[in-house]
Structure 1
Amino acid sequence: MTPTLEKLIATRIRQDVQGMHAYAIQDSRGMVKLDAMENPHRLPARLQKELGERLAAVALNRYPGERIEDLKRALAKHAQVPAGCELMLGNGSDELISLLALACDVPGATILAPQPGFVMYAMSAQLQGLKFVGVDLTPDFELDEKAMLDAIALHQPAIVYLAYPNNPTANLWDDAVVDRIVQAAPGLVVIDEAYQPFSSRSFLRRLAQHEHVLLMRTLSKFGLAGVRIGYMMGRSQLVAQIDKVRPPYNVSVLNAEAALFALEHEDVFAAQAADLRSERERLQQALKEMGVQSWPSDANMILVRVPDPARSFEGMKARKVLVKNVSRMHPLLAGCLRLTVGTAEENTQLLAALQSTL
């Protein structure tokens, strides 16, 4: 007998999945969208036209082929991948995180990361049936070195994630502490540099010194969030093993062509990143003058603490400015909102909207 839909879900869908919440995306129609760390700048009209012509010529009837290899070579040149290292592509960094959990699913495997941090590290572990261990940051959102080292010694994690800079706190961590964690890790260490275009430092120059370290980046913050291209670098032998679990044709020909086009015009995107870094400084100074607590940022977001985050979030939303209320994500984030850095006009609207709620 055919089961009812309720019985089908209850008996055939994993219990932990039934209890999960799907990744929430806020409705941003008609809003100044400053909730997802996107680059707010569009391509200039001339380049939009050129890109449209390029995409129109793509052979949509064929599976992705050599053009994907062209993109890998272009990204390797753009990122300056060290000798002896290789690069693999993901449908955004999210897919790479999932593939790492799949590839490292050995008996008793654990994934470890500081918290608060990017939610996909824990989610990938849960979906793959792995144990996740979160280690709290200090109240100032710095790495708790002793707690991290103790957790590594106790749990012997298969993967340690270090976001550099971190999301949602936007800060870089002490390099000496990072190095000691890397040295102590018995498995892989994944340095997640999603916000590299806005950061003052990178782990790239140290990558080739460590056989067990992978460096992950994305073109989302470069300015192509809608294109969904993530990439990961590391020792060739290690990357080749992770690449075995990658689905075939995981990057579409349209996405690859758009990414290749963008890399041919990387000066345009570099200028956009420079503008956002400048606007970040303006925002931080304005927040200081408003008496709003904020933390140093090496990303295109700023974490602030306000007296009533729900009131500020809803008040800004009523004024058509959408930010992210992270106050309930982790106890250390109590009272906090995450503000994406936008254009000069958007940032002026953000500041006025926030001021009106304080």
Structure 2
Amino acid sequence: MNPLLEAALQRIRQDVQGMHAYAIQDATGLIKLDAMENPYPLPDALQHALGQRLGAVAVNRYPGPRIEDLKHALAAHVRLPEGAALMLGNGSDELISLLAMACDRPGAAILAPVPGFVMYAMSAQLQGLAFHGVPLTPDFALDEAAMLEAIARVQPAITYLAYPNNPTANCWDPAAIRRLIAAAGAVGGLVVMDEAYQPFASHTWLDEWRADPAAHGHVLVMRTLSKFGLAGVRLGYLIGAAPLVAQIDKVRPPYNVSALNAECALFALEHADVFAEQAAAIRAERERLMAALAALPGVQPFPSEANMILVRVPDAAKAFAGLRARGVLVKNVSTMHPMLANCLRLTVGTPAENEALLAALPPSL
């Protein structure tokens, strides 16, 4: 090896060198059902209108007042609770990293149920924080007793609760979540309700916040426009008590949301009815797909309130390879956690994509 390169590599943290980069599968030529994207593009007329809007953006300038316009539009879209503020991120991934940075005090830890979103643990590791994962029950429900014990013992700076959860796709018992929120607050910790898949869920935690604002001073609700239908735009947002958001916002890089991204998001919010119709179509397809999967021998779908379905099959590696060979790309999550043994995660696609999946699955098992 080049000695200069070898010396330079030694400057990279050893734990980083031992990590695996986040893997993105090559979907060329395949029906892409692996990343929980909205499968519906914008209608042609709206694509043309958006192109004209983006063509007029002053890309020679840093993002300006339109960022504030976007924050106001999002606040109206979610009916921002009284006393709350909103912070933007380059996707929710950046917000997760910024939260770890903001809470990086000696001995600080992050806690979350597992299996869950990999970025919670990764952000902790990259920031040098301890991560504590609490296993779900065998049916992927919260183990409330284990969570309460961990909160009391670890006293985490941040507790993540994904609602719905990824990759299990379920929403947990609200009564149990209320008790966990209270327990985290009792030890001075933050709770982040990750609502990345909210457009497909039957409940939002913002309703709980409005019903009992006094209990939510330490709670942040995190969302993304990726599942709304703008995965390519990379825009997330964090909602919380204004004084808390103001402190976290101090670690946000300047101009972290581009002018083009902001304009895309504003355009989408102006046409929120189109995206709401798409979400409704995805929810309807999810129920049809769930019923069809349940009828297949050897396939066990788990309840879903997201735009994905977790299924257990006899041999996940064989099924994944068989589906890929038949032109359908899904996510093999079977090695992510022991509880996910022989599980695949299937994104809910268009009716035609879902038919292709159902046709390809039995021969792949």
Q: In the TM superposition, what are the counterparts of 1:209-220 in structure 2 within 5 Å?
A: 209=214, 210-220=216-226
Q: C-alpha distance in 1, partners of 2:193/2:82?
A: 18
Q: C-alpha distance in 1, partners of 2:3/2:206?
A: 54
Report the RMSD for the aligned CA atoms in angstroms.
0.8
How much does 1:5 deviate? 1.1
Q: C-alpha distance in 2, partners of 1:240/1:181?
A: 25
The number of equivalent residue pairs is: 356
How much does 1:3 deviate? 4.3
Q: C-alpha distance in 2, partners of 1:230/1:4?
A: 39
What do the CA deviations read for 1:93-117 (whole angstroms, capped 9, x no partner)? 0000000000000110000000000
Q: C-alpha distance in 1, partners of 2:74/2:236?
A: 10
Range that drifts further, 288-297 or 195-204: 288-297
What do the CA deviations read for 1:178-200 (whole angstroms, capped 9, x no partner)? 00000000200000000000000
Q: C-alpha distance in 1, partners of 2:55/2:130?
A: 45
What do the CA deviations read for 1:238-282 (whole angstroms, capped 9, x no partner)? 000000000000000000000000000000000000000000000
Task: Tell me what 2:193 maps to.
Answer: 191
Letter in 2 for 1:201: H
Q: C-alpha distance in 1, partners of 2:286/2:166?
A: 16
Task: Tell me what 2:58 maps to.
Answer: 59
Q: C-alpha distance in 1, partners of 2:321/2:24?
A: 16
Task: Tell me what 1:4 maps to.
Answer: 4
Out of 243, 265, 268, the position equivalent to 1:259 is: 265
Q: Secondary structure at the match of 2:295?
A: helix
Out of 340, 353, 357, the position equivalent to 1:333 is: 340
Task: Tell me what 2:180 maps to.
Answer: 181
How much does 1:79 deviate? 0.9
Task: Tell me what 2:295 maps to.
Answer: 289
How much does 1:7 deviate? 2.9
What do the CA deviations read for 1:58-93 (whole angstroms, capped 9, x no partner)? 000110010000000000000111010000000000
Q: Is residue 2:164 matched to residue 1:162? A: no
Letter in 1 for 2:127: Q
Q: Secondary structure at the match of 2:142?
A: coil
What do the CA deviations read for 1:290-316 (whole angstroms, capped 9, x no partner)? 131011100000000000100100000
Q: C-alpha distance in 1, partners of 2:3/2:317?
A: 43
Out of 229, 234, 243, the position equivalent to 2:249 is: 243
Q: C-alpha distance in 2, partners of 1:198/1:57?
A: 33
With normalisation by structure 2, the TM-score equals 0.97
Q: Secondary structure at the match of 1:191?
A: strand
With normalisation by structure 1, the TM-score equals 0.98
% identity of equivalent residues: 72
| Structure 2 gap ranges (5+) | none
Q: C-alpha distance in 1, partners of 2:73/2:276?
A: 16
How much does 1:205 deviate? 1.9
Task: Tell me what 2:44 maps to.
Answer: 45
What do the CA deviations read for 1:303-347 (whole angstroms, capped 9, x no partner)? 000001001000000011000000000000001000000000000
Q: Secondary structure at the match of 2:139?
A: coil
Q: C-alpha distance in 1, partners of 2:359/2:146?
A: 40
